Chains A and B, each alone.
Chain A
Amino acid sequence: MDIINNIVRILEKYWNLFLIGTANTLLLSAVTVLFGIIIGSLLALMRISKLHIGRCKPLNLIATVYVEFIRGTPLLLQLYFFYFLLPMMVPALQLDKTFSIILALCLNSGAYVAEIIRAGINAVDKGQMEAARSLGLNYRQTMIKVIFPQAVKNILPALCNEFVSIIKETSLASTFFVGDLMTQFKTINGALFLSIEPLIIVGIIYFVLTFTLSKGIAVLERRLKTSD
């Protein structure tokens, strides 16, 4: 029963740390997803762009290499990379290393969002493009009026799922003490020399966050399906 007692004691003393940590984790995840969507949309547009020089499509190539590279290396490595690289390139950032970490998270998420958007667009029946083009719409008009509105229905639930994964992935940023939920575990662990108890608390908070969100997404998905 020691564990239960310890957990109660920790909660009494440090409840505000968990609150702040949860808020920070949610904020960090929201910022990451938001910029991830912006970056991912740009990458997705680059990948479907028809701009070409000879046979080479430079925008497409850059975006593809970027996405493959980000998806092919561990997030923790990318976090370290930006943590050391950015302050070297921009000395002003020496002061705020958190910024480098947030930037790394956004750049990482952008690559995954780009794939989500691409998959969402590809999942729209090919016949839709043909029908719209046969009416005389050009490629752009077809994308805007016919393909994107249908792709959104595929993309939206997947983006929400991405948000859920990011909530979990931001815990890696605690390596650099950015103040997220996992950072609070480290703080308490350092102060009390207790590890299991704060881990249980933090774990339950993560679980409640992701579980509720996942259930919410399932509802959203069902709504989107029936509104076809």
Chain B
Amino acid sequence: MTNSNYLIEVSDLHKNFGELQVLKGVSEHISKGEVVSIIGPSGGGKSTFLRCLNLLEVPTSGKILFEGEDITAKGVDIDLHRQKMGMVFQHFNVFPHMTVGENVTMAPVLLGKKKQNEAVDMAKALLERVGLADKYNAYPQRLSGGQKQRLAIVRALAMEPDVMLFDEPTSALDPEMVGEVLNVIKGLVKEGMTTVIVTHEMGFAREISDRVFFMDGGVLAEKGSPEDIFSHPQNPRTKEFLSKVLY
């Protein structure tokens, strides 16, 4: 069942918070270079699912293979795996006590991936790409929401991850800043970055995804190509959800 083309394989994933069953058996795989969007109503377990992939949430049961290795097994050094899984959060979570440059260089230098001067060069190049070159020495407090999120993306990219996980990266942004962040993500996708994105931007999901998952009530209630999901949804829950979000 293990396919070397799969970057992430999830089997029968369950997650409970106390009595509350949030994930009720999710099995899926994500191939190298694949772009997957996860859509669905609030509270359906999208964030929990994404956060299980890098073990920010510890699954109650089930297995997650990352690059062929079971990261839910005992004794696994999850920190090493996390270095290869970039994550971007709804609320940016940039480090306010570090400059933009330090935000980007801290992890690769501390974790021995890069020497300081190499990290600086890389940070400058990445920041240039997302239009933040002139902010290198600024503190995040001086950045707009869109700029903070672009910084957060660059910070994750600086670890040269094999996959990027986005949890509603534009939900906390003012509308006029959504585009700049989506453009950065689109650029990554074009370069072949394996991407899993939880989003409410349906047009965007349709445009960039190879596959779309509709998550509801802790299960992947429907999955398919963007065409399948958005133009020919089968599940009544999917239809209902889409009718609400696509006025």
Residues in A neighbouring B79, C-beta threshold 8 A: 133, 136-138
Bound CA–CA A153/B111 (angstroms): 26
Bound CA–CA A145/B79 (angstroms): 16
Residues in B neighbouring A150, C-beta threshold 8 A: 96-97
A149 at the interface (CB under 8 A from B): yes
Number of chain B residues whose Cβ lies closer than 8 Å to a Cβ of chain A:
27
Residues in A neighbouring B94, C-beta threshold 8 A: 131
Bound CA–CA A149/B91 (angstroms): 20
Residues in A neighbouring B141, C-beta threshold 8 A: 228
Bound CA–CA A81/B175 (angstroms): 64
Residues in A neighbouring B139, C-beta threshold 8 A: 228
Binds B, one of A7-15, A110-118, A122-130, A190-198: A122-130
Binds A, one of B67-75, B80-88, B210-218: B80-88
Bound CA–CA A127/B148 (angstroms): 14
A175 at the interface (CB under 8 A from B): no
Q: Chain A interface residue count: which class?
A: 10 to 19
**Which residue on chain A has the smallest CB distance to residue B142?**
A228
Tell me how far the C-beta of A218 lies from the nearest C-beta in chain B, rounded to whole angstroms. Answer: 21
Interface pair A134/B56, CB less than 8 Å apart: yes
Task: Jot down 10 A-B pairs with beta carbons below 8 A, ordered by A.
Answer: A125-B93, A130-B93, A133-B56, A134-B56, A135-B86, A135-B107, A135-B159, A136-B80, A145-B110, A228-B141
Binding site for A on B (CB under 8 A): 54, 56, 79-80, 82-87, 89, 91, 93-97, 106-107, 110-111, 139, 141, 152, 155-156, 159
Binding site for B on A (CB under 8 A): 125, 127-128, 130-138, 141, 145-146, 149-150, 153, 228
